[in-house]
Structure 1
Amino acid sequence: MSPSAATTTPANAAETPVELSEIEQIVTKLAKSGIKNPRSASKGGFADSWVENLPATTKARFEKYGIDISQGYPQRPPTEDIPIFVDQAHAVRDKEVPYIERAKNADPEKKALFAAAKEVKNLTKHIGTEIIGLQLSDLTDQQRDELALLIAERVVVFFRDQDLDPKIQADLGAYYGNVEYHPQQVHVPGLPGTTVIWQDLLIKLGLNIGFKNNVKAGTSQWHTDLTHELQPPGITHLHNDAIPDVGGDTIWSSGYAAYDKLSPAFQKFLDGKKAVYFSAHNYLDRENPLKGRVNVEREHPIIRTHPATGWKSLFVNRAMTRRIVGLEPRESDLILEYLFSIFEKNLDIQVRFNWKPTKAGLGTSALWDNRVSQHFAVWDHEGNEPRHGTRVSSLAEVPYFDPESKSQREALGLSLN
């Protein structure tokens, strides 16, 4: 899910053993063998345009803030920038880049942020806070820092009735980290880091989803975004500007609380271990392109420490975690299945949020810490009402485990039983 363009030489690669003419021959062979050309489903520009079906509230938002959809919507990166080989995909972000943890600059009491709001509501004991009466576009840097700390502590924070310029959403994402520019994902025209979340378009393009098979289709499964990245996202911001009257909720689950659900002996066993995480998109192996498509893979700690809170979090997810390093496959599968179930089955560490604003024509934003959470988009409106959003993911630090760090409940002095 993270590649740069290449025709004859991939970015950051030392050499390209396959020349363009050979690539063309390979693609021909793949077509004859029934394996799809990786670029064929991802044509650049506005090949997937469905501007005529854009929800009215989305069109109004774009018109108000000067987003040009006259050429089509959404926009896809240029075809030549869509990688073919897995080494090209891996090379896009294979070197660590500087990252500033904004939450470390924040007032622990968050006085500037809370004083500007009409109300601050914790939606559950362990996860989820809603801030009422405050526009994200009006935040000062001090308030942005305090919001980053609140997100780190409460995992996900919600803002209804937002009148949000997509360009300001992109700017806020850049403040919180290095904006992820996705080489396949469709985006708002002119804003390549502002990706489009619009399942109706995916259905039009062939996503097989319906009442009987809406689980594991698109985002309707438990997942954590982009865990295969060298520096996976920290704060992720989804602004929904078209929301069903009923349904279309999203559920988040806390990685802090999931870790605290484990026994001390099991925590000790997992501390310091790593897992292999893989990309949603797949590519060809340059050394053996006829074997089929493969994913980008990277290793990260199963238990990671949050740089702002210092709390340990369980960092696995069913959609993108392949195996635990150093274990036999059956051992890994059994343990991962149990760890996935902690997030998915413990309702007390989840929050379910309905996006509907209180004022017509406005949208709702959710900002969550992707490092310490999983989420699940509930597809119960069955496409009968539009649901459309724009998302900015801010890449954070390389995941790490600090053996001196504490769990959330241990740090807060709560019962560990």
Structure 2
Amino acid sequence: MPTNVATIETLKKEHKEGELRLDQHAPLDAQIEHLIRTDQHLNITRATKVPQLHTGPDPEGLKILPEHTRKRLVEGGVDISKGYPEIPDRSKIPVFVDQAYAIRNEDYPYIERGANADPEKKSLFAAAKEIKDVTKHIGTEITGLQLKDLTDKQKDELALLIEERGVVFFRNQKLPPKVQRDLGEYWGQVEVHPQTPQVPGLPGITVIWNDYLQKNGMNINFKNDNYGNFDILRYGSVGNQTWHTDLVHEHQPAGITHLHLDTIPDVGGDTIWASGYAAYDKLSEEFKRFLDGKKAVYVSAHSYLDRDDPFGGPKRVERVFPLVRTHPATGWKYLFVNRSMTRRIIGVTPVESDLILNYLFDVYEKNADIQVRFRWNSEPGYGTSAIWDNRSTQHRAVWDNEGIGARHGTRVTSLAEIPYFDPKSKSQREALGLPISKED
């Protein structure tokens, strides 16, 4: 099987009857790449299985665009005259797994803004009307503060609060998309996704709009929307209903993620988060010692072809990271697993790995006391933001509105540090002096 990595642009091309054709002597991998990129009926990498999505702004999307969303986009200076959302250029979507690795495969500088913030968060709290914890272990809501008006000092303190509490909520926000991206860029390199729909002219702002994907062929319904939470390998996932942590396949995975909903159903469409700090502290001390220092394999949500074995089935980007990570801002240990994208533990048998991982998934998913469920309601004409630490939490959407009542949002994710484990770090309960039960 040829391993020539020449790209399509370097190969001899000819036009015949208006169609782009390759030299018949081109390497097989180049021929396959050309076929996938030029045949609109083929879909290798789009997770939504919607090959008919065209490239560029989609005029059809404007026909179902919610009015609240349209107003926010236009007032925020977004040009939607040619369509919405903007679909990434098909020619730039990775076909082979080595192309996906190459997107971001080297170290880049990262500043942990929360590490040097005032631990009392005096500047942030003084600007707010109210700060209220939603549950004991995860989730805080801040009222009386506009995200677009934050100073750098307040952004640092907010980063630390997010990293301590897992997720922070802000209702009644006037937030232009560009300001949302600027905030993400302050916290780290903004991830620009090569596959998902984006806000036109603002790469790095992903459109979260199941109504649009469903209209374009995504098969989601009342019966199948949770299948992935029973067996992700057998059933896969539809939408974002399976418990997950974003972008675990990145060389430097996700840090802070900000989802802003500008159109919210009257009832339904909630999101649930669970704390990785608390999940770790749910484990026995002996089991913690066993897991500390272990590593696991994490995979991408999207699949690709292997250039050396293109007919051997889909391949995913794989990374090896600590199963228990230390947070660079809080210094606390947390359990870094998720059902969607954690594949196996290194150093144990496959059977042992499956047993351990399925138990760890359950610790996150079945302990209601370490979770928060958030309803996204706001005053008319305003949106709501949830900003979470995508390292020390898991989350999942709840598709109970079934597309009845529009739901639309924009998401920005800031990439963070290379994951690490510090054997001297403490768990959250240990660091805060909270009781830790000992097993006999």
TM-score calculated relative to the size of structure 1 = 0.93
Paired-residue identity, %:
63
Structure 1 unaligned spans of 5+: 10-17
For the Cα contact (< 8 Å) 2:29–2:307, is it kept in 1?
A: no
For 1:253, give the aligned amino acid: A
Cα gap change, 1:6/1:205 in structure 2, threshold over 3 Å: closer, same or farther? farther
Cα gap change, 1:38/1:317 in structure 2, threshold over 3 Å: closer, same or farther? closer
Q: Which residue of 2 aligns with 1:15?
A: none
Alignment pair present for 1:193 and 2:199:
no
Matches within 5 A, 1:104-183: 104-183=115-194
For the Cα contact (< 8 Å) 2:57–2:83, is it kept in 1?
A: yes
Q: Which residue of 1 aligns with 2:251?
A: 230
Within 2, Cα distance between the matches of 1:373 and 1:353? 14
Q: Which residue of 1 aligns with 2:14?
A: none
Alignment pair present for 1:80 and 2:81:
no
Q: Which residue of 2 aligns with 1:59?
A: 70
Cα gap change, 1:317/1:69 in structure 2, threshold over 3 Å: closer, same or farther? same
Matches within 5 A, 1:379-398: 379-398=399-418
For the Cα contact (< 8 Å) 1:42–1:82, is it kept in 2?
A: no
Q: Which residue of 1 aligns with 2:81?
A: 70
Indicate which of 398, 402, 411 corresponds to 1:378: 398
For the Cα contact (< 8 Å) 2:196–2:206, is it kept in 1?
A: yes
For 1:22, give the aligned amino acid: L
Shift of 1:45: 1.3
Q: Which residue of 2 aligns with 1:291?
A: 312
Shift of 1:65: 1.2
Shift of 1:168: 0.3
Shift of 1:8: 5.0
Shift of 1:48: 7.9
Within 1, Cα distance between the matches of 2:303 and 2:25? 21
Shift of 1:278: 0.6
Q: Which residue of 2 aligns with 1:256?
A: 277
Within 2, Cα distance between the matches of 1:80 and 1:28? 9
Partner of 1:289, secondary structure, is coil
Q: Which residue of 2 aligns with 1:13?
A: none
Q: Which residue of 1 aligns with 2:324?
A: 303
For the Cα contact (< 8 Å) 1:304–1:312, is it kept in 2?
A: yes
Shift of 1:46: 2.8
Within 2, Cα distance between the matches of 1:402 and 1:389? 36
Cα gap change, 1:284/1:316 in structure 2, threshold over 3 Å: closer, same or farther? same
CA deviations 1:242-265 (Å, max 9, x no partner) are 000111110000000000000011
Partner of 1:57, secondary structure, is helix
CA deviations 1:41-89 (Å, max 9, x no partner) are 6642135841110111000101111111111111122222111100000
Cα gap change, 1:37/1:101 in structure 2, threshold over 3 Å: closer, same or farther? closer
Q: Which residue of 2 aligns with 1:22?
A: 28
Structure 2 unaligned spans of 5+: 1-5, 11-23, 229-237
For the Cα contact (< 8 Å) 2:29–2:310, is it kept in 1?
A: no
Q: Which moved more, 1:175-184 or 1:75-84?
A: 75-84
Within 2, Cα distance between the matches of 1:280 and 1:262? 28
For the Cα contact (< 8 Å) 2:44–2:303, is it kept in 1?
A: no
Q: Which residue of 2 aligns with 1:12?
A: none
Shift of 1:22: 3.2
Cα gap change, 1:149/1:28 in structure 2, threshold over 3 Å: closer, same or farther? closer
Partner of 2:86, secondary structure, is coil
Q: Which moved more, 1:262-271 or 1:208-217?
A: 208-217
Cα gap change, 1:182/1:368 in structure 2, threshold over 3 Å: closer, same or farther? same
Shift of 1:410: 0.0
For the Cα contact (< 8 Å) 1:61–1:165, is it kept in 2?
A: yes
Q: Which moved more, 1:72-81 or 1:330-339?
A: 72-81
Within 2, Cα distance between the matches of 1:243 and 1:323? 37
For the Cα contact (< 8 Å) 2:260–2:386, is it kept in 1?
A: yes
Shift of 1:404: 0.3
Q: Which moved more, 1:274-283 or 1:198-207?
A: 198-207
TM-score calculated relative to the size of structure 2 = 0.88
CA RMSD of aligned residues (A): 2.1
Matches within 5 A, 1:353-364: 353-357=374-378, 359-364=379-384
Within 1, Cα distance between the matches of 2:407 and 2:220? 15
Shift of 1:23: 3.9
For 1:293, give the aligned amino acid: P
Within 2, Cα distance between the matches of 1:28 and 1:187? 24
